């Protein structure tokens, strides 16, 4: 396996300053719409990077569940590794790896827990089995076997049989409030196009082209 020889050129297009929207959320929405139209699996999948109090980084794929001018939202167990990391260090990064379009979007910002009402509203839309799984799984804890997990799920099924499944108090969401959003478009000869929006005082955005 000659991994060092695996390569391809990026020839699908380019990105110019005049192509960009006036703000990064509009630009993100435009690119996301193209991803959705492609019918790929999990178009909202993103890599969330966190670091614990010692500086040890961790990454995992989560699903984007909402975005607007205030930030990018995802939901999770509030006792998971990612949640512990965010408590210790709320500075996080999101990466949308849209390789098939030869694009990436990188979001850098601060994660803030969403209000209970917002978490309740989203939890109520989840499939019932997913709601029960939120109760059954002690996310990131060591577990003896798959059987134990399935027994916990069955016990929760029985507990909530015949009624609505409430949101656990240890389950909620985070909003990543961005201070920088980068749009990356692959180009030939590794001369990629990179533009980053950075926040200025007053809430305005400044755009810079970065060297690839």
Catalytic residue numbers, as ranges: 190
Q: Is 159 annotated as a binding residue?
A: no
**What distances in angstroms separate CA 207 from CA 43, 75, 104, 132, 181, one per listed residue?**
26, 30, 17, 44, 10
Q: Is 87 annotated as a binding residue?
A: no
Q: Is 15 annotated as a binding residue?
A: no
Angle at 13 (CA atoms; ends 12, 17), nearest 5 degrees: 155
Q: Is 211 annotated as a binding residue?
A: no
Q: Is 76 annotated as a binding residue?
A: yes
For helices 146-159 and 128-136, angle between their N-to-C axes, nearest 10 degrees = 120
**Helix (H) / strand (E) containing 71:** strand 71-77
Backbone angles phi, psi at 203, to 5 degrees: 90, 0
Contact 152, 160 (CB under 8 A): no
Q: Is 17 annotated as a binding residue?
A: no
Q: Is 75 annotated as a binding residue?
A: yes
Closest listed residue to residue 24, CA positions, set 183, 211, 189, 200: 183
Q: Is 104 annotated as a binding residue?
A: yes
Q: Is 103 annotated as a binding residue?
A: no
Contact 62, 42 (CB under 8 A): no
Find the largest Cα–Cα distance for the chain. 61
Token pair 């569940």 is at which residue? 65
Q: Is 146 annotated as a binding residue?
A: no
Binding residues for substrate are 65, 122, 126, 130, 190-192
Binding residues for FMN are 60-65, 75-76, 82, 104, 139-140, 184, 194
């Amino acid at each position: 396996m000659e991994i060092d020889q695996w390569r391809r050129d990026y020839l699908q297009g380019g990105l110019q300053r005049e192509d960009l929207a006036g703000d990064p959320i509009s630009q993100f929405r435009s690119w996301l719409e193209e991803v959705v139209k492609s019918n790929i699996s999990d178009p909202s999948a993103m890599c969330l990077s966190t670091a614990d109090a010692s500086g040890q980084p961790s990454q995992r794929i989560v699903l984007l569940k909402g975005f607007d001018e205030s930030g990018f939202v995802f939901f999770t167990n509030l006792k998971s590794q990612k949640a512990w990391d965010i408590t210790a260090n709320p500075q996080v990064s999101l990466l949308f790896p849209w390789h098939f379009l030869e694009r990436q979007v990188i979001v850098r910002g601060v994660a803030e827990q969403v209000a209970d009402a917002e978490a309740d509203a989203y939890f109520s839309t989840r499939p019932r089995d997913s709601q029960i799984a939120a109760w059954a799984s002690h996310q990131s804890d060591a577990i003896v076997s798959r059987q134990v997990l399935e027994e916990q799920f069955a016990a929760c099924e029985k507990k909530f049989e015949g009624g609505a499944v409430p949101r656990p108090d240890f389950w909620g969401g985070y909003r990543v409030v961005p201070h920088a959003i980068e749009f990356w478009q692959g180009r030939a000869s590794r001369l990629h196009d990179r533009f980053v929006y950075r926040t200025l005082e007053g809430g305005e955005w400044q755009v810079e082209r970065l060297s690839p």
